Amino acid sequence: GNSVTQMEGPVTLSEEAFLTINCTYTATGYPSLFWYVQYPGEGLQLLLKATKADDKGSNKGFEATYRKETTSFHLEKGSVQVSDSAVYFCALSDNNGNKLVFGAGTILRVKS
Protein backbone atom coordinates (compact mmCIF):
# COMPACT_ATOMS: atom_id res chain seq x y z
CA GLY A 1 0.00 0.00 0.00
CA ASN A 2 0.89 3.66 -0.13
CA SER A 3 3.34 4.86 2.51
CA VAL A 4 5.15 7.98 3.64
CA THR A 5 8.61 8.45 5.16
CA GLN A 6 9.51 11.65 6.99
CA MET A 7 12.81 12.80 8.37
CA GLU A 8 13.22 12.02 12.04
CA GLY A 9 13.10 14.79 14.56
CA PRO A 10 13.28 16.69 16.60
CA VAL A 11 14.49 19.49 14.37
CA THR A 12 15.76 22.43 16.42
CA LEU A 13 16.29 25.80 14.73
CA SER A 14 16.90 29.37 15.76
CA GLU A 15 14.32 31.99 14.88
CA GLU A 16 14.58 33.23 11.26
CA ALA A 17 16.45 30.10 10.13
CA PHE A 18 15.50 28.25 6.95
CA LEU A 19 13.40 25.12 7.42
CA THR A 20 13.30 21.95 5.38
CA ILE A 21 11.44 18.83 6.50
CA ASN A 22 11.92 15.94 4.10
CA CYS A 23 9.05 13.72 3.00
CA THR A 24 9.22 10.89 0.47
CA TYR A 25 6.45 8.56 -0.53
CA THR A 26 5.77 5.19 -2.09
CA ALA A 27 2.58 4.86 -4.08
CA THR A 28 0.92 3.18 -6.99
CA GLY A 29 -1.29 5.47 -8.99
CA TYR A 30 -1.42 9.23 -8.51
CA PRO A 31 -1.96 10.21 -4.88
CA SER A 32 -2.56 13.67 -3.52
CA LEU A 33 -0.04 14.91 -0.96
CA PHE A 34 -0.63 16.91 2.19
CA TRP A 35 1.16 18.58 5.07
CA TYR A 36 -0.63 18.84 8.40
CA VAL A 37 0.53 20.71 11.51
CA GLN A 38 -0.28 19.82 15.11
CA TYR A 39 0.30 22.48 17.77
CA PRO A 40 0.68 21.30 21.38
CA GLY A 41 -2.59 20.01 22.81
CA GLU A 42 -4.50 20.50 19.57
CA GLY A 43 -5.77 18.48 16.64
CA LEU A 44 -4.12 18.38 13.23
CA GLN A 45 -4.71 21.27 10.86
CA LEU A 46 -4.28 21.18 7.12
CA LEU A 47 -1.27 23.33 6.21
CA LEU A 48 -1.07 22.81 2.44
CA LYS A 49 -1.72 20.26 -0.28
CA ALA A 50 -0.91 19.33 -3.86
CA THR A 51 -3.07 17.10 -6.01
CA LYS A 52 -0.84 16.41 -9.01
CA ALA A 53 2.79 16.31 -10.07
CA ASP A 54 4.62 19.68 -10.17
CA ASP A 55 1.88 21.39 -8.14
CA LYS A 56 3.16 23.67 -5.40
CA GLY A 57 1.12 24.03 -2.23
CA SER A 58 1.69 27.08 -0.06
CA ASN A 59 0.26 28.64 3.08
CA LYS A 60 1.51 30.92 5.90
CA GLY A 61 5.00 31.11 4.34
CA PHE A 62 5.32 27.32 4.05
CA GLU A 63 5.54 25.64 0.68
CA ALA A 64 6.05 22.18 -0.81
CA THR A 65 6.27 20.94 -4.39
CA TYR A 66 4.95 17.57 -5.57
CA ARG A 67 7.96 15.93 -7.29
CA LYS A 68 6.98 12.74 -9.04
CA GLU A 69 10.49 12.04 -10.35
CA THR A 70 11.94 11.94 -6.83
CA THR A 71 8.67 10.87 -5.10
CA SER A 72 9.07 13.73 -2.65
CA PHE A 73 7.06 16.53 -1.07
CA HIS A 74 9.53 18.42 1.12
CA LEU A 75 8.22 21.19 3.37
CA GLU A 76 10.13 24.49 3.37
CA LYS A 77 9.89 27.87 5.03
CA GLY A 78 12.31 30.71 4.53
CA SER A 79 12.27 32.14 8.05
CA VAL A 80 10.78 30.24 10.98
CA GLN A 81 9.26 31.80 14.08
CA VAL A 82 8.92 30.49 17.62
CA SER A 83 5.20 30.11 16.94
CA ASP A 84 5.99 27.51 14.23
CA SER A 85 7.06 25.04 16.91
CA ALA A 86 4.78 22.04 16.38
CA VAL A 87 4.65 18.53 14.94
CA TYR A 88 4.45 18.36 11.15
CA PHE A 89 2.91 15.40 9.35
CA CYS A 90 3.24 14.49 5.69
CA ALA A 91 0.34 12.45 4.29
CA LEU A 92 -0.89 10.98 1.03
CA SER A 93 -4.23 9.72 -0.18
CA ASP A 94 -4.77 6.02 -0.79
CA ASN A 95 -5.69 4.80 -4.27
CA ASN A 96 -9.39 4.52 -3.48
CA GLY A 97 -9.67 8.03 -2.10
CA ASN A 98 -10.98 6.53 1.14
CA LYS A 99 -8.32 7.62 3.59
CA LEU A 100 -5.06 9.43 4.21
CA VAL A 101 -1.87 7.64 5.20
CA PHE A 102 0.35 9.66 7.54
CA GLY A 103 4.06 9.76 8.12
CA ALA A 104 5.48 9.44 11.63
CA GLY A 105 5.56 13.19 12.19
CA THR A 106 8.52 15.53 12.69
CA ILE A 107 8.83 17.66 15.81
CA LEU A 108 10.04 21.20 15.10
CA ARG A 109 11.40 23.37 17.92
CA VAL A 110 12.26 26.98 17.21
CA LYS A 111 14.34 28.89 19.76
CA SER A 112 14.31 32.65 20.18
Partner 1 sequence: DTAVSQTPKYLVTQMGNDKSIKCEQNLGHDTMYWYKQDSKKFLKIMFSYNNKELIINETVPNRFSPKSPDKAHLNLHINSLELGDSAVYFCASSQGGVQFYGYTFGSGTRLTVV
Residue 63 identity (one-letter amino acid): E
Q: Smallest Cα–Cα separation from 89: which of 72, 109, 105, 65?
A: 105
| Interface pick for partner 1 out of 23, 49, 84, 110 (rule CB under 8 A) | 49
| Interface pick for partner 1 out of 3, 20, 26, 51 (rule CB under 8 A) | 51
Are 11 and 86 in contact by the 8 Å Cβ rule? The answer is no
Q: Does 56 sit near partner 1 (CB under 8 A)?
A: no
Are 4 and 19 in contact by the 8 Å Cβ rule? The answer is no
Are 55 and 38 in contact by the 8 Å Cβ rule? The answer is no
Residue 75 or 91: the one with the smaller Cβ distance to partner 1 is 91
Burial of 57 from C-beta contacts in 10 A (0-12 / 13-18 / 19+): buried
Which residues inside 23-42 make contact with partner 1, applying CB under 8 A? 31-32, 34, 36, 38, 42
Q: Does 75 sit near partner 1 (CB under 8 A)?
A: no
Q: Does 57 sit near partner 1 (CB under 8 A)?
A: no
* Residues of this chain that bind partner 1 (CB under 8 A): 31-32, 34, 36, 38, 42-46, 49, 51, 87, 89, 91, 93, 97-100, 102, 104-105, 107
